[in-house]
Amino acid sequence: MWRDCLKLQDELVKMRRELHRIPETGLILPLTREYVENKLKEYGISYTENKTDSGLVAIIKGEKGTGRTVALRADMDALPVNEGIESDYKSLHEGKMHACGHDAHMAMLLGAAKVLQEHRAELCGTVKLFFQADEEEVLGAKNMISEGCMEGVDAVFGTHIGCIISKDISSGKFVIVPGCIMASNDRFFIKVKGTGCHGSTPEKGVDPINIAAHIIINLQEIIAREVPAVKAAVLTIGKVNAGFAYNVIPSEVEIEGTVRTLDDKVRKNIAARIAEISESTAKTFRGEAECTIEWGVAPVENDEAMAEFAAKCAREILGDDKVITSVPAPNMGAEDFAEYLKLAPGAFMFLSSADHDKHTDEPHHSPLFNIDEDVLWEGSAVFVKIASEFLNA
C-alpha cells in the first residue's frame, strides 16, 4: 500500500508549493482550509469542520470491518515571518511564511489520505485525519480536542519535517524516539505592586523595581536548588516593564516569562514555586505580587510501544540505517501534539530534510527556512504504513 506514495511524489511537491504560496497564521486559516477541503472532496473523503477555528477532521472508514481507530495529524498554520528566499512558489502574503514546514505536513497527510482512501477496502477500522490550526501559539490541538476529535481514538501519530532535532541528521532520516522528546511550554505573568514616590525619598513609598529585581534573582534559585540535576528545566524572564522617569519610583512592575520542562511533576512544582517566591519576596519588602500562570502545553511524551511500532514501520520502508530511535537529549522546544498524547498512546516523529547543499538546513522560523522536497513521499508512506498496520494488526 505504502508504495503508492512513491508515485505521488510530484503531486506532493505541487501541493506543498501551492500551500507555501498562501500562508496564514493563527486559528483562522480560510484559504488553507479551503485548499485542504477541496483535495479531500477530490479524493472522496468526508470531513467535519471545527466550529471555533479552521481545524477539521477527515474520516476514512475501512470496508473490511469495524475495528480500531488511528489518528494522523498535520498542522496548517504559518508564521509572521517575511520570506527571504526567491522562488516561483514564494509566499504571496506579505509578512507571512510557512517557515516551520507545516505546508509539507499538510501535503504529506493529504498524500497519505489519498492512498488510504483508495485502499479502504483493505482496511479494518477507521482512520481519522486531523488538520489543526494554530500549532505555533499552541491553541490548535486544544480546540480540536474540545470539538471532540479524540473520541474513540486508539492511537495518534504526527510527523514534523525539518531540522528540529539536529541539522546534522541527514535528509530523509526518520527520528522516532520512545519517551519524552520535547518540552512543556508555559507562560507566567507577575505584577509587582508597590507605592510610587519621588526618587529621592524611597522611604516614603515601596519600590517595586527593587522588589522585581529580587524576584528575578530568586526565581532562578528554583532551577539551581529545587529541580533535581537530572531533570531538565528552563525558566526565562523575557520581558520586564518598569518605570517611566529616572527620578520617579513607579507603583507597578510587570514581569513575563516562560518555563520549559521535560516532566509534568517538575512543571507543576515550578509553577507553584513561582507564585510562592514572588508573593513572599514582595511581602518581605513591603510590597505585593500577583502571579498568573497561562498553561501552555505538556511535554511531548511518546508511548514506548507505539514509538517502537512506528519505528518498525519506518524501517520496513526506508531500511534500518534511515531510522534513528535514540538521540542525546530531547528538544527543549514545545509542540501541542503533546495534548493528543495525553489522551491516547502514540508517537511524534521527526523527518529530517536537512541538506546543506540544498540550503535546507536553516533553522525553523528563519526567513531562510526551506525543506528538501525529495523526502515528502517518505512522510506519506510512513503514515500509510502505520495506519494500515495498526488497523489490520
* Residues making contact with Zn ion (CB under 5 A): 100
Spatial distance between the Cα atoms of 191 and 241, rounded to a whole number of angstroms: 10
Cβ 174 to Zn ion shortest distance, Å: 16
Alpha helices in the chain (DSSP H): 4-7, 9-20, 30-43, 102-118, 140-146, 208-225, 264-284, 304-318, 338-341, 376-392
Nearer to Zn ion, 185 or 380 (CB): 185
Give min distance, CB of 169 to Zn ion, in A: 16
Nearer to Zn ion, 255 or 376 (CB): 376
Q: Which residue's Cβ has the minimum distance to Zn ion?
A: 100
Give least dist CB 202 to Zn ion, A: 45
CA dist., res. 212 & res. 278, Å (int):
8
100 vs 127 by CB, closer to Zn ion: 100
Nearest CA-CA partner of 314 in 350, 354, 353, 355: 350
Minimum distance, C-beta of residue 314 to Zn ion, in the bound complex (Å) = 20
The minimum distance between CB 136 and Zn ion, in angstroms, equals: 5
C-alpha cell at 320: 534500518
- Tell me the closest approach of the beta carbon of residue 141 to Zn ion, in angstroms: 12
The smaller minimum CB distance to Zn ion, of residues 100 and 175, is found at 100
Quote the CA–CA distance of 300 and 41 in Å, as a whole number.
32
- Strands 300-302 and 174-175 come out as unpaired
The secondary structure of residue 296, as a DSSP letter, is: E
Cβ closer to Zn ion: 4 or 378?
378
In order of 36, 140, 145, 266, 270, the CA distances from 234 in angstroms are 37, 24, 28, 11, 10
> Which of residues 100 and 249 has its CB atom nearest to Zn ion in the complex?
100
Specify the residue, 65 or 363, whose C-beta has the smaller distance to Zn ion: 363
The nearest distance, CB 225 to Zn ion, in angstroms, is 33
Closer of 170 and 366 to Zn ion (Cβ):
366
Cα–Cα distance, 175 to 159 (Å, whole number): 9
What residues does 293 pair with on adjacent strands? 188
Q: How far is the CB of 348 from Zn ion (least distance, A)?
A: 11
- Both ends of the chain: CA-CA distance in Å? 15
CB 15 within 8 A of CB 330: no
User: What is the DSSP secondary structure assignment for residue 230, as one 8-state letter?
Assistant: T
